[in-house]
A and B are shown apart, each in its own frame.
Chain A
Amino acid sequence: MAERRVWAMIAALLALGVLLVPLSQALFGLRLTYTVRVVALGGSLLGALSGAVGCFAVLRRESLLGDALSHAALPGVAVGFLLAGRQLGALLVGAGIASWLGLRLVAAILRTTRIKQDAALGIVLASFFAAGIALLTYIQSLPEASQAGLDSFIFGQAAAIIASDIALLGAVGLAVTLVLALLWKEFKLITFDAEFASAGGLRGGLIDALLSTLIVVTIVLGLQLAGVILMVGMLIAPAIAARQWTHSLEQMVVLAAALGAFAGGSGAVISALDSDIPTGPMIIVVAFALVALSITLAPGRGVLWRQLRQRENRRHFRSRRLETGA
């Protein structure tokens, strides 16, 4: 029963997503240009990808790792530019390497010192980001640099998305889906009970590394659109919203992907209403609205639901007391 409700919700979201562009054209008389449609498509692809991957980050209590890793990617972008010029491939590879180094550094600090996770994340986040800023300032002072537009990696610049980026996002999305589908039960077990998993002979380290890689890849792809500061929101908001509606991991991941896609697409369309509204932040606001809705309204878990049930209980209790008192 509950299962079917969630699948219906996912279907509705997907339908809404597909119809988003024609609907908003029809209802609001919006004229969506080719660019806006590309951005909306990119936003929803990224939203779907980060929604699905983010579920594992949230369930493993690594929500803020995404924040540190996305900030840590910045110096990689700058070094990639210095070494290879403005080629998206080089920038993304650089970002991936830097972000992965940040991950290792967090692990090293945690392993060899008594510093706790929050501070270790903060150290890596701040110092990598500073390194990125220092390198970007240096790049801007270079005579030949046409400023390179690297700033767009900080706040994200959705308008810069072009068709080839969509192809990249789609390809990576497909690869991630494939990995998730093939290793589904391993991912699930390691996230739920890592100890039992390795007692059962699962190579925990390998799966761990694979999951971290998925998160890093997602972050790197999202930088262009959402920017390093807001990427963590893309990663965890859909997952948290989805968690409220369902008790099954399968549904949670699919629903998070659908919610992420919806937030990405509609955020892009809303920001097209006014040239002054930036796309990345708008997507985050939509995603958070979905979280707020889910937390209040989700049946069973939601705040409203629980309050209703509490009142019901109280009324029940009171009438019982009246009966026994009489």
Chain B
Amino acid sequence: MMGLERALIELLLRFVTHDALNAFLRSPQHTASLVGCLIAICGALLGTFLLLRGLSLTSDAISHTVLLGIVLAFMLMTGAGLEGDTSSPWLIVGAAAAGVGTVVLTETLHRSGLVRQDAALGLAFPLLFAIAVILVSRFVDDVHLDDDAVLVGEIGLAWANTNSHCFEHCESLRITPEHPAAQQMRQCVNCRELTISPRDERAEFREVCGNCGVYTPAQAWSAGLLDEAPTLVFFPKSITVMLVLTALTVGFVAVFYKELKLTTFDAALAKSLGFRPAALTYALMILVSLVAVGAFDAVGSILVIAFFIIPPAAAYLLTDRLSGMLLLSPVIGGAGAFFGYDLARGWLFGMLPVAEGIAALNAIFGLQLREAWDSSISASVVLTMFVLFVLVWILSPRYGLVVSAVRRANSRRRFDDQVVLAHIHNHQGTPSHAIELRAATLHQHFRWTPQKMNRVLMRLRALGFVSQEAGSAILTQRGDAHVHAFRKQLLVAHNIPDIDPTQP
């Protein structure tokens, strides 16, 4: 992990100075946005396949139960006297196991034939989450696992948890009593044991070195022991973790693209071709668990599901192609992560101030709410994604509400025309002609209002499809041709020969 990080920084240092890099990373906003974007990319890629397989809520279950994996690993580690840290490999193993465990538990319940799939999921994860909560409050006293961390994470603090890397003047410094910088001082030998004050005349003294020891370059520099500043880069751990996970996810999707596509759209065919849909599903679930645990520090264990579900759902309304979804959903998720930070500080998309909204509420309802808005970053990221989803839902050029409404109005009009034309065509020249086609009573047959029928007839007359003859509506030649054209269209779909009942 450290080696990777170092290689990456070396690469970056070719383009920027280390001061600039440090300044960039020390900004909470930059690190938070970067980590958020990386989580969004992983979530969106994996979530796309979950969505298309109807497994979206499995990510919900896994993100809850990953907590159990983390807690168990934590307990084992503290039991073994190891330092608990969320980037430790044991936690990752625990999380992956919990994720797979959820899937196995659900499958077992479902396979017993006694519990439906959705109910099995709804049973499995409250149970595992409940156990995790009990364990946390019963056995784990680490501040790191308190309620807030579980819920929302601390993406705003991601910048502060860093590894330091040194690139120049990196001698670590050992100060011995002989070193010129060593601070020698007198210490009373027996005052601690005997509770004798150093002022007491019985006190014995010896020379000790106050600052002896081994200093990393960073420590040595900040203690003022170096003349020349070392070149140090402080790199947030979350970024590294998420970079690795992103690489894994992208790699997985790239390598298994064909298999994933096939098993997603036709599991049966995939199986018959010798692919292993179940194995791929488990691989997918393991990756989901890993991303959930990687994101645990940053966004907690519940909000992470938004990263898996909302961006792919939005992309699903924009495109019909799998490749399109895989490109669009990370962009949507990334945009959410990027603008989410602004929202937490009170600016929706960097333009609309939340404070004014609160002020308006205060004015309308006579409340006295504080107008300054400062809120959870991860929740704001999710809200931004949701706003993006709603925008797509309304405006998508393919499936948006606006477009569908326009399209529906158009086809409604065309459809009404066709209903009337077909009716005239069916009855023209039959014995019931006079009853069925009398223009004045035509609306009654359809149970339409006279206004609606008038509108349609007027349109049809303007189009030259229909004329009136002895109070009855009849088709013109153009109208007849038109009926035959759209009848053909419809009936071909139904395998009906176009036999005109009005012809002998």
Direct touch of chains A and B (CB < 8 A):
yes
Find chain A residues with CB under 8 A from B127 CB. 233, 284-285, 288
Set of chain A residues within 8 Å of B305, measured between Cβ atoms: 122, 125-126
Q: How far is the CA of A109 from the CA of B373 in the complex (A)?
A: 30
User: In the bound complex, do residue A232 and residue B126 qualify as a contact, i.e. CB atoms below 8 Å apart?
Assistant: yes
Does A129 lie within 8 Å of B302, measured CB to CB? yes
What are the interface flags for A299-311 relative to B under an 8 Å C-beta threshold, 1 for contact and 0 otherwise? 0010100000000
Contact B126 A229 (CB under 8 A): yes
Q: Is the interface of B mostly helix, strand, loop or mixed?
A: helix
A73 adjacent to chain B (CB < 8 Å): no
Closest chain B CB from A210 CB (angstroms): 22
Q: Say yes or no: is B268 at the interface (Cβ < 8 Å to chain A).
A: no
| Chain B window 43-71, contacts with chain A (Cβ cutoff 8 Å), 1 for yes, 0 for no | 00000000100111101100010000000
Q: Are A130 and B382 in contact (CB under 8 A)?
A: yes
Chain A: CB-nearest residue to B306: A126
Closest to A231 in B: B126
State whether A127 touches B115 (Cβ < 8 A): no
Q: Digit string of A105-145 for contact with B (CB within 8 Å is 1, else 0)?
A: 00001001111101111110111011101110110011100
Bound Cα distance A313, B414 (Å): 64
Most buried by A among B118, B138, B365: B118
A134, A155, A232, A244: which contacts B114 (Cβ < 8 A)?
A244
Other-chain contact of B116, A63, A133, A155, A278 (Cβ < 8 Å): A63
Distance in angstroms between the alpha carbons of A138 and B371 in the assembled complex: 10
B401 contact set on A, CB distance < 8 A: 112
Q: Given the interface contacts A123-B386, A295-B112, does A282 sit within 8 Å of B134 by beta carbon?
A: yes
- Closest-by-CB residue of A relative to B51 is A119
Contact A138 B383 (CB under 8 A): no
Residue of B nearest to A298 (CB): B114
How many whole Å from B135's CB to the nearest CB in chain A? 9
Contact A126 B382 (CB under 8 A): yes
Interface residues of B in 365-385 (CB under 8 A from A): 365, 367, 369-370, 373-376, 378-383, 385
B491 adjacent to chain A (CB < 8 Å): no
Contact-residue size bin, chain B (C-beta under 8 Å from the other chain): 35 or more
Q: Which residues of A contact B115 (CB under 8 A)?
A: 240, 295
Nearest-Cβ distance from residue A111 to partner chain B, whole angstroms: 11
Are B126 and A230 touching (Cβ within 8 A)? yes
Specify which chain B residues have a CB less than 8 angstroms from the CB of A154 in the assembled complex.
147, 151
- B313, A115: Cβ atoms closer than 8 Å: yes
Nearest A residue to B136, CB-CB: A278
Contact with B along A38-74 (1 / 0, CB 8 A): 0000000000000000000010011110110000000
A230 with B130: in contact, given A58-B119, A64-B121, A115-B313 (CB under 8 Å)? Answer: yes
CB contacts (< 8 Å) of B380 on chain A: these are 130, 134
Q: Which residues 356-402 of B have a CB within 8 angstroms of A? A: 365, 367, 369-370, 373-376, 378-383, 385-386, 389, 393, 399, 401
B123 touches A237 (CB 8 A): yes
* A238, B137: Cα distance in complex, Å: 25
Q: How many CB-defined contacts (below 8 Å) exist between A and B?
A: 190
- Across the interface, which residues of B come within 8 angstroms of A94, CB to CB? none
- Nearest Cβ distance between residue B68 and chain A, in whole angstroms? 11
User: Of A62, A133, A282, which contacts B376 at CB under 8 A?
Assistant: A133
Mask: chain A, 61-100; 1 = CB below 8 Å from B; 0 = not: 1111011000000000000001100000000000000000
Residue A277 is within 8 A (CB to CB) of chain B in the complex: yes
Asked, given contacts A61-B116, A137-B379, whether A113 binds B317 with beta carbons under 8 Å apart, the answer is: yes
Query: Which chain B residues lie closer than 8 Å to A119 at the CB level?
Result: 51, 56, 309, 312-313, 316
Q: Which chain B residues border A116 with CB–CB below 8 Å?
A: 51, 54, 56
A285 to B64: give the CA distance in the assembly, Å: 15
Contacting A at CB under 8 A, from B171-220, are none
Q: Is B310 in the interface zone, CB < 8 Å from A? A: yes
Q: How far is the CA of A271 from the CA of B385 in the complex (A)?
A: 39
User: Known contacts being A115-B313, A237-B123, is A133 close to B379, with CB within 8 Å?
Assistant: yes
User: Which residues of chain B are near A125, meaning CB under 8 Å?
Assistant: 60, 305
> Does A151 sit within 8 A of B, measured CB to CB?
yes
| A-chain residues with CB within 8 Å of residue B467 when the two chains form the complex | none
Q: Select one of B59, B382, B399 contacting A127, CB under 8 A.
A: B382
Contact call A123/B310, Cβ cutoff below 8 A: yes
Contacts of A233 in B (CB 8 A): 122-123, 126-127, 130
Contacts of A118 in B (CB 8 A): 54-57
Contacts of B114 in A (CB 8 A): 240, 243-244, 295, 301, 303
Whether B138 pairs with A127 at a CB distance below 8 angstroms is no
Residues 128-149 of B at the A interface (beta carbon under 8 Å): 129-131, 133-134, 137-138, 147
CA of A269 to CA of B127, assembled, Å: 18
1/0 per residue A265-309: CB within 8 Å of B?
000000000101110111011001001000100000101000000
Q: Are B306 and A130 in contact (CB under 8 A)?
A: yes
Identify the interface centre among B130, B306, B317: most chain A CB within 10 Å of its CB. Answer: B130
- Contact between B376 and A137 (Cβ–Cβ < 8 Å)? yes
Is A236 positioned at the interface, with any CB of B under 8 Å from its CB? yes
Q: In B6-65, which residues have CB < 8 Å from any A CB?
A: 51, 54-57, 59-60, 64
Residue of A66, A119, A142 with most partner-chain B CB within 10 A = A119
The answer to whether A229 and B379 touch across the interface, beta carbons within 8 angstroms, is: no
A114 & B379 in contact (Cβ 8 Å cutoff): no
A236→B302 contact, CB < 8 A = no
The 8 Å CB contact of B404, one of A62, A112, A240, A295, is: A112
- The residue that A285 contacts in the complex, of B134, B302, B378, B399, with Cβ under 8 A, is B134
Q: Does B337 contact A (CB under 8 A)?
A: no
Determine if B152 is an interface residue (Cβ-Cβ < 8 Å): yes
Asked if B122 and A66 sit within 8 Å, CB to CB, the answer is yes
**Chain A neighbourhood of B383, CB < 8 A:** 127, 130-131, 134
Say if the beta carbon of B474 comes within 8 Å of chain A. Answer: no
Which chain A residue lies CB-closest to B58?
A118
Which listed residue (A63, A83, A134) contacts B375, Cβ 8 A? A134
B296 to chain A, nearest CB (A): 15
| Contact across chains for A82 and B369 when beta carbons are under 8 A apart | yes
* Minimum Cβ distance to chain B for residue A146 (Å): 15
B370 partner, pick from A66, A83, A141, A288, beta carbons under 8 A? A141
Q: Min CB distance, A67 to chain B, in Å?
A: 6
How many Å lie between the Cα of A142 and that of B367 in the bound state? 13
Residues from chain A with a CB closer than 8 A to the CB of B51 are 116, 119
Assess whether A240 is in contact with B393, with CB atoms less than 8 Å apart.
no
Determine whether the beta carbon of B57 is less than 8 Å from that of A138. no
| Beta-carbon contact of A83 and B56 below 8 Å | no
Query: Does B129 lie within 8 Å of A230, measured CB to CB?
Result: yes
Q: Does B303 contact A (CB under 8 A)?
A: yes
Starting from the known contacts A133-B378, A141-B375, 15 additional A-B residue pairs (CB-CB under 8 Å) come to A61-B118, A62-B118, A82-B367, A112-B404, A123-B309, A126-B310, A130-B303, A130-B378, A130-B382, A142-B369, A151-B147, A154-B151, A233-B122, A280-B133, A282-B130
**What is the interface of chain A, defined by CB distance below 8 A to chain B?**
58, 61-64, 66-67, 82-83, 109, 112-116, 118-123, 125-127, 129-131, 133-135, 137-138, 141-143, 151, 154-155, 229-230, 232-233, 236-237, 240, 243-244, 274, 276-278, 280-282, 284-285, 288, 291, 295, 301, 303
What would be 19 A-B contacts, judged by CB atoms less than 8 Å apart? A64-B57, A64-B118, A64-B122, A113-B399, A118-B54, A121-B57, A122-B313, A130-B383, A133-B378, A134-B383, A138-B373, A138-B375, A142-B370, A229-B64, A230-B130, A233-B130, A281-B131, A288-B123, A288-B127
Going nearest first, the 9 A-B pairs with the smallest beta carbon separation are: A233-B126, A130-B382, A281-B130, A126-B306, A127-B386, A122-B309, A284-B130, A133-B379, A134-B379
